[in-house]
Amino acid sequence: MAVPKSTGTENRRPLDGGGAVVDVAADRATNRELFESIEAGAGEAFDDYLATSERHYETAMEKFVYEDRSSLRDWVDLDVMRAAPVGVKLMRSMQGHVDDYFENPKLQQIMQYTLVFLGGSPKNTPALYNMMSHVDFNMGVYYPTAVEPNENGDHPGGIGVVVDAFVDLCRELGVTFETGVEVDEITRRRHGFSVVDESGIERRPDRVVVNADYAHAERELLPEHERQYDADYWDDRTYAPSAYLLYLGVEGDVPELAHHTLVLPDDWDPHFDRIFEDPAWPDEPAYYLCVPSKTDDTVTPEGHSNLFVLVPIAPGLEDSPAQRERFRERILDDVAEHADTDLRDRIVFEEEFCVSDFVDRYNATQGTALGLAHTLRQTALARPPNRSTAVDGLYFTGSFATPGIGVPMCLISGQHTAETLVEDVN
Ligand SMILES: Cc1cc2nc3c(=O)[nH]c(=O)nc-3n(C[C@H](O)[C@H](O)[C@H](O)COP(=O)(O)OP(=O)(O)OC[C@H]3O[C@@H](n4cnc5c(N)ncnc54)[C@H](O)[C@@H]3O)c2cc1C
């Protein structure tokens, strides 16, 4: 079950410069009107843009994403080459692509903000990822809710219910889970593997699928002769952003915000530069605000709202308590100024999560929140493989492998890895 959601806030001010607020609706016709109202001709450009996105999406899904093409031979197939949406033009940057359609910087941003969730910037992400706009604008944004009611008769929602549904399905299929166990070593033995956890307990599986951060597994879990890459390879990768996350429970409603709100400075290049070019905390942050209680009244006590602020920041940044405190103040000021809502005196619950937490809790390389960025040299074949080339019986899956970053891509990655493993066993 899923509820369609609009993004953005009320269209309270015209898009004529700083401080503009715009509502991106759940339906395409309203969005077309919105684009035309901001820039003459942008309504038609919006249609053209989405038609192209849809074509690229369909081709990518059919030929590239669901089909794991892990070797050059798989790509040198006439049928695939003909279908490839990767003409020379689409290998340039997303910025070049949106320039062809829209002049207004805010319209360009609306078409490009999903790049942050691919771990890239408008300058370093190939234009072929314009297909993401088909997902947002044509297919829609949904909020998952549990099909079965809980003990209170409610249908709770949020991404956690998708996880629960997978766990239920896996258990039905005979999978057993052990959680909260950290693996310290994976070593190939004559028969199968030795997998040793942090308490020294050894398990002896026939095959191993690693879903942990790929670089962590290669550098810290496997012995040197069982690794595929040397230290230079991992040092040379572009890691997707980390994040500063501020989770808040507040008294009362936040009528100024929608379920999804993006706060984007008119010129967001300096923020992207501080992620990819010259790592530092951003002065003028671009960020995402989420208020699940707008849609789901099971997530807060009555009379309260919950929200989180997600600011993409450079992986590997130093995030001392003093730095985090300064940034918290900066963000709460910014929310007050740009989203018209001062939350400070209403906060009843608060938690932060940042670079070092991603390292400590998830062994994430440089504290990346997402994995390996989708830059041109880290797309498709150029991502690490899901079958180890160094050790038989060892597999990888998730956000470092193909097809890439984000929950849907990681689920498809799991499917690729499972198919590869089954093929090897049979
Ligand atoms: C704040 C935030 C918001 C996001 N929003 C979206 C979104 O809106 N849409 C979207 O599609 N994606 C989103 N993502 C990205 C998405 O969550 C990730 O791309 C995806 O979860 C990665 O899946 P994965 O299976 O590769 O790795 P993970 O989900 O990170 O799983 C890896 C697991 O391995 C465990 N592990 C690591 N080392 C070891 C070890 N030595 N022993 C045992 N276990 C270990 C970790 O603890 C972790 O549980 C978001 C991510 C973040 C952080």
Distance, in Å, from the CA atom of 210 to the CA atom of 219, rounded to the nearest integer, reads: 13
What is d(CA 36, CA 19) in angstroms, rounded to the nearest whole number?
20
Which residue minimizes the CA distance to atom 13 of ligand 1? Answer: 406
Residue 73 has pLDDT above 70, yes or no: no
Which of 68-83 are b and which e, b meaning 16 or more Cβ less than 10 Å from the residue's Cβ? Answer: bbbeeeebeeeeeeee
- Pick the residue whose CA is nearest to atom 49 on ligand 1: 362
Pick the last residue of a domain from 142, 166, 193: 142
Q: What span, in angstroms and rounded, lies between the C-alpha atoms of 42 and 98?
A: 11
Nearest to 379 by CA among 64, 112, 123: 64
Of 18-22, 168-172, 337-341, 355-359, the least confident: 18-22
Residues 232 and 260 in one domain: no
> Do 346 and 395 sit in the same domain of this protein?
no
Average pLDDT, the chain: 88
Q: Tell me the C-alpha distance between 190 and 380, whole Å.
A: 33
Relative to the CA of 407, which ligand 1 atom is closest? 11
pLDDT for 70: 59
* Bridge partner residues of 209 (DSSP): 395
289 has which bridge partners?
261, 309
- Residue bearing the CA closest to ligand 1, atom 37: 212
Whether 188 maps to a domain, the answer reads yes
Chain centroid to CA 344: 28
Specify if 324 maps to a domain: yes
Report if residue 133 sits inside a domain.
yes
Q: How far apart are CA 303 and CA 301, in angstroms?
A: 6
391 and 271 in a single domain? The answer is no
Check pLDDT > 90 for residue 342: no
Q: Which ligand 1 atom is at minimum distance from the Cα of 358?
A: 53
Asked if residue 52 belongs to a domain, the reply is yes
Ligand 1 neighbour 401 (Cβ under 6 A): no
Average pLDDT for 324-352: 92
* pLDDT score of 138 more than 60: yes
Report the Cα–Cα distance between both ends of the chain, in Å, rounded. Answer: 37
Q: In the chain, how long is the greatest CA-to-CA distance?
A: 69
The reply to whether 277 and 418 lie within a common domain is no
Q: Is 119 in the pocket of ligand 1 (CB under 6 A)?
A: no
From residue 327, how far is each of 323, 324, 386 by CA, in Å? 6, 5, 38
Domain that holds residue 255: 241-362
Tell whether ligand 1 has an atom less than 6 A from the beta carbon of residue 410: yes
Residue 197 is part of a domain; what is its CATH number?
3.50.50.60
